[in-house]
Amino acid sequence: MMMERIVTLSILSIVLVSSAPTTTPNYWALRHNILHEEAVQSIGGNLPLEGQERAANTRLMIHKKQEIDKAFLNPDIFLPARNFLEAFGDIEKSRVFQIIKKLPKGAVLHVHHKAMVHADWIYNATFRENLYVCDRNGDLELQFFRTPSRDCDWKLLSHLRKNPILAESINERIRKQLTMVVENPEQVYSHIDVGWIKFEQIFDFITPVIGYKPVAEDHFYQGLKELYDDNVLYVEVKSGVPKLYDLDGRRYSDNEVVGIFEKVTQRFKNDHPDFIGVKIIYTKGRMLSDAKVHGFMDRVVQLKRDYPDFIAGFDLAGQEDKGKTLRSYADRLNELKKQINFFFHAGETNWYGTSTDENLIDAVLLNTKRIGHGYAIMKHQRVLDYVKLNRIAIEVCPISNQVLGLVKDLRNHPASVLFAEGVPVVISNDDPGLWGSRALSYDFYEAFMGIMSGNADIRALKQLAMNSIIYSSLSPGEQARAMNIWKKKWISFVNELSSGII
């Protein structure tokens, strides 16, 4: 009997590593201690509630608990468990979402340039002058011309739209080619490859529209505006720096395009003095030939020399399961890491023990500053330990992972463990324009309601916002300014929420 008691106490002491020693096991005290330790370890769990945060948190958590409790009784209505392509209208009605819209979110650190603007804006851009359309093998193509080329039967789009019947048909086709939003998305995108095919088709369709220099400038400005209106104050944009064109057929070089983006950024900052700014992560496709990728590596070094404060680093993107591995470029990247920072997409896969998920190993060995997606990281505990030790942030993109088929129900997203263990995490939106999202609030909502604990509160949101500044590419001085601006906005948000204004 005595031996059994000793064994029991030994087990309990292991479970409660940091709890006070006890000679009499107390079930309820031990249970309380476990829950307390879990709460403290989770994201934001070690932050104190300051000023009006306690009252604001009470209001926020009333709505969160109500939403979860209703869904607990009727799981079919739980929004993060539904495909975002169907659920986004209902998400907008959520009281929690409406609060998150007002939340000062800090920064977006993983958004792709071509997909950062809502599809409605790009659709409206198709009403501009000199835009032509042709039907090539059943798919529409758009291009701005002064005089159209002869490679297709190009028709002036504005002329076709003068016919009401024709206009209705062509407008519907354009809208369908701009977005992944469909009825019954889980049937339409029956597996990952199908979703990615549509995803890439949209990029091909919109590229000639937003690649026209006047539209490109307005498009970039609009992307910043949508984020700023959603209470984001700094952005790191992943961009391949497309060769813009004008009606005279001129193609602008990478250097010129970066200069154009920098000027648009400065104009936006002049219009919005509390906006911190933008940095570009030069991002190219991992499907490209080795020669092209090596050429882009050389180019980013030169761009960094020409725009040292505007170019943040380098990345390779695209469907990771189908593309070249980081390992295949390891020798060249090891040379390059002395000259440029890396922000690699890695582990955006549900496979285990393949060349794709092993990109996580190469990413950390190549000194990546952050990891894009990192969906498979829980399967690589040594990599996760390295990430924790070296404070490498994981860029979690909830909606992207769901729409592109990695996870159906966001309650099953592996980032739940990252949040529970307080791993450095930032929330990003990836390609919001392609799936009917806008800016960052939708991803914040999905993370807060679906991936985090039901007990995660306003402190988790606060920590996420601060993480986005802490793990950004901003210089120490820029970070200090960004944090000061954000803190003022945070205090204002907390005061409005606590007083019932929000």
DSSP string across 8-75: HHHHHHHH-TTSPP-SS--HHHHHHHHHHHHHHHSTTTTPPP-TTHHHHHHHHHHHHHHHHHHHHH-G
Rounded-to-integer distance, Cα 444 and Cα 263, Å: 30
For residue 226, which phi and psi values (nearest 5 degrees)?
-60, -40
3-state secondary structure of 111: strand
Q: In what order do the strands lie in the sheet with 232-239?
A: 106-112, 232-239, 277-285, 311-317, 341-342
CB atoms near residue 145 (< 10 Å)? 15
Strand 131-136 relative to strand 311-317: parallel, antiparallel, unpaired? unpaired
Convert 308-323 to b/e letters by CB count within 10 Å (16 or more is b): eebbbbbbbbbbbbeb
- Identity of the amino acid at 218: D
CB atoms near residue 169 (< 10 Å)? 12
Rounded-to-integer distance, Cα 453 and Cα 456, Å: 5
Convert 453-487 to b/e letters by CB count within 10 Å (16 or more is b): beebbbbbbbbbbbbbbbbbbbeeebbebbbebbe
Rounded-to-integer distance, Cα 413 and Cα 373, Å: 11
Rounded-to-integer distance, Cα 130 and Cα 339, Å: 42
The rounded Cα 409 to chain-centroid distance in angstroms is 18
Catalytically active residues are: 348, 373
The rounded Cα 337 to chain-centroid distance in angstroms is 24
Cα 100–450–196 angle (5° rounding)? 100
DSSP string across 302-367: HHHHHSTTTEEEEEEES-TTTS--SGGGHHHHHHHTTTSEE--EE--SS-SSSTTTTHHHHHHHTT
Helix axes 254-271, 290-306, angle to 10 degrees: 50
3-state secondary structure of 141: strand
Alpha helices in 211-329 (DSSP H): 213-229, 254-271, 290-306
Structure tokens at 131: 């835009």
Rounded-to-integer distance, Cα 371 and Cα 378, Å: 13
